[in-house]
Amino acid sequence: MIARLIGDARHVAIGAASPIPASGAFLLKSQQPALRVSLHQRRRANPFTEGSRELFDLAGQGRIDVFFLGGAQIDGEASINLVRADGRRFPGSFGSAFMYPVIPRTILFREEHSRRALVPRVEFVSARGDPFALLTGKALFSWQKKARRFRLESVHPGHTVEEIRADTGFGFDSPVSVSTTLSPTAVQLALLRGPVAKEIAADYPEFAARVWDA
Amino acid sequence: MEVVRALIRRRARGLRLLGVPVLGFSADLLIGAGCVAEVETSAVSLGEAGLAPRFTEAAQKGEIKIRDATCPAIHTALQAAEKGVPFMPLRGVLGSDLVSGRADWKVLQNPFAEGADPILYVPAIAPDIALFHARWADEAGNVWIGRRKEVATMAHAAKRTLVTFEELRAGDMLEDELLAPGVLAAVYVEAVAPAERGAWPLGVAEVYGIDDAHLAHYARAARTREGFQRYLDEFVCTRKKNSLPA
């Protein structure tokens, strides 16, 4: 799904702690070699030579098309919170406050799909903007810029619309019949388990070992 | 890291840490050891090892002051200091609660725009001390930082720069065209000191990698104050530099 969302972009950048978006991006690159994938925290062969500000300078100039952001909380206004909730402190906003409004296609990504993660209103707005999509472990939403509301696009295999309603803390629109998210093809799965897992393992060794046994 | 461990052994107090642009393992150790009064940063995290446990607890208990920022705001503030100008503008960020949390940031009209164009201005940051570990220092007092240019920006902006290094090189690296682009010149550097494996358990590119197993061990141990204290006893007070049994 991540590879499909990146679509025909020329340059996708991946920030901190994003092994799943990184996997999707490298999967797409294995099929579309012209795609540029810049992994901000790459340990070897990092794409940047001007220090950690270069990612933001590139984004500010419009040289990055797609970026992924997550959040301890994400709300129905598409605001994200990386700072604090329910008395708990999280790491902090990282570059989100800047990246979200300047990147043309920001994809919100949160694996956990629950009322704890998807809330009516975030406690702290780390960043706000107009996302391209919200992808969770259970469903895909698009963003309706004018109405400022999410719209359910598809539900991942094994989940139902009722379950999505029950587990989502904010209101959203949904078509009469909601489609099922397409599963990866056999070819894509083979790529994910092979070369992509290997590519990811250098920077996310724990993730690669846990998910792909790489 | 070696200086961080020494600061803990010397019971440093009241430090104000600036993350360029984030803080990690060093900050968590210093916070847990009670050395820190305040942090200004975009985040504090142990990367793949997860949340920084001592920071998290100190923040939740209100034991340290936190000035939340966002990565490019810190880079921009340091770039203002290295240019000697009092502030610099930055796009984005408007709409974030970070702005209202920072009395020192201002949203003003772009003076060059015809129509309304609000933009964030951040004041220059000139740290008292820039501290980092480098692969090489040379006999001329230069240090090699390679592609880690944020380290150069930090040193340019800081009042004093202190560096530990892995290996000493003979001669002057500025005479080598291949090395020179990665050199921070001695003009910015107040003092250097050798510290072999001084970044451990973090890494130095092409010399040794990040010790992921050790960071994971720390992340587990430091979940409790007692576990953190045992970690300090074993790896900071006794200067042990690996996770293997003695």
Strand, coil or helix: B41: strand
Q: CB-based contacts of B178: which residues, under 8 Å, 6+ apart?
A: none
User: Where is B143: in which H helix or E strand?
Assistant: strand B143-144
B75 touching A (Cβ < 8 Å): yes
Collect all residues from A whose CB is shorter than 8 A from any CB in B: 16-17, 41, 43-44, 46, 48-54, 56, 60, 82-84, 87-102, 124-129, 204-207
List pLDDT tens digits, range A107-159: 999 999 999 999 999 999 999 999 999 999 999 999 999 999 999 999 999 99
The alpha carbon dihedral of B200, B205, B211, B215 has a sign of positive
Distance CA B42, CA B34 (A): 21
Distance CA A127, CA A147 (A): 19
Contacts of B22 in chain A (CB under 8 A): 16, 91-92, 94
Q: What is the separation of C-alpha B145 from the centre of its chain, rounded to a whole number of angstroms?
A: 14
| Model confidence band, residue B246 (pLDDT cutoffs 50, 70, 90) | very low
Of B152, B127, B153, B144, nearest to B206 (Cα)?
B144
Residue among B56, B70, B148 whose CB faces A97 most closely: B70
Say what the pLDDT of residue B242 is: 60
B37 touching A (Cβ < 8 Å): no
Residue among A51, A82, A100 whose CB faces B150 most closely: A51
Give residues 144 to 163 of B whose Cβ lies within 8 Å of A: 147-153
Q: Which domains does chain B carry?
A: 1-69+212-246 (3.40.1080.10), 87-123 (no CATH), 126-210 (3.40.1080.10)
List pLDDT tens digits, range A81-108: 999 999 999 999 999 999 999 999 999 9
Q: Residue B76's closest chain A neighbor by CA?
A: A53
Average pLDDT over residues A39-54: 82
Residue B245 pLDDT > 60, yes or no? no
Q: Residue B209's closest chain A neighbor by CA?
A: A43
Indicate the burial class of B138 (C-beta count within 10 angstroms; 0-12, 13-18, 19 or more): buried
What CA–CA distances, in Å, run from B224 to B53, B164, B204?
Answer: 8, 31, 29
What pTM, to 2 d.p., does this model score? 0.93
List pLDDT tens digits, range B72-100: 999 999 999 999 999 999 999 999 999 99
Average pLDDT over residues B111-116: 97
| Model confidence band, residue A214 (pLDDT cutoffs 50, 70, 90) | low
**Do A101 and B216 lie within an 8 Å CB cutoff?**
no
**Do B52 and A91 lie within an 8 Å CB cutoff?**
yes
User: Where is A96: in which H helix or E strand?
Assistant: helix A96-102
Distance CA B149, CA A126 (A): 26
Most A CBs within 10 Å: which of B20, B44, B71, as the mutation test of the A interface? Answer: B71
Which ipTM score applies to this complex? 0.91
CATH of A70-92+110-181, one of 3.40.1080.10, 3.30.2010.10, 3.90.1330.10, 1.10.1740.10: 3.40.1080.10
What CA–CA distances, in Å, run from B98 to A95, A96, A161?
Answer: 12, 11, 35
What CA–CA distances, in Å, run from A187 to A27, A183, A191?
Answer: 10, 11, 6
Instruction: Give the dihedral of Cα atoms B166, B168, B169, B174; nearest 10 deg.
Output: 80
**Do B69 and A93 lie within an 8 Å CB cutoff?**
yes
Residue among B43, B210, B212 whose CB faces A94 most closely: B43
Give residues 104 to 143 of B whose Cβ lies within 8 Å of A: none
Residue among A54, A93, A207 whose CB faces B42 most closely: A93
Residue B45 pLDDT > 70, yes or no? yes
B43 touching A (Cβ < 8 Å): yes
Give residue limits of the domains in chain A. 1-69+184-214, 70-92+110-181
**Do B60 and A91 lie within an 8 Å CB cutoff?**
no
B220 touching A (Cβ < 8 Å): no
Q: How many CB pairs under 8 A join A and B?
A: 139
**Cis peptide leading into residue B21 (ω within 30°):** yes
What CA–CA distances, in Å, run from B83 to A31, A118, B157?
Answer: 44, 43, 8
Say what the pLDDT of residue B192 is: 97
**Do A91 and B45 lie within an 8 Å CB cutoff?**
yes
**Do A125 and B203 lie within an 8 Å CB cutoff?**
no
List pLDDT tens digits, range B142-171: 999 999 999 999 999 999 999 999 999 999
User: Where is A26: in which H helix or E strand?
Assistant: helix A19-31
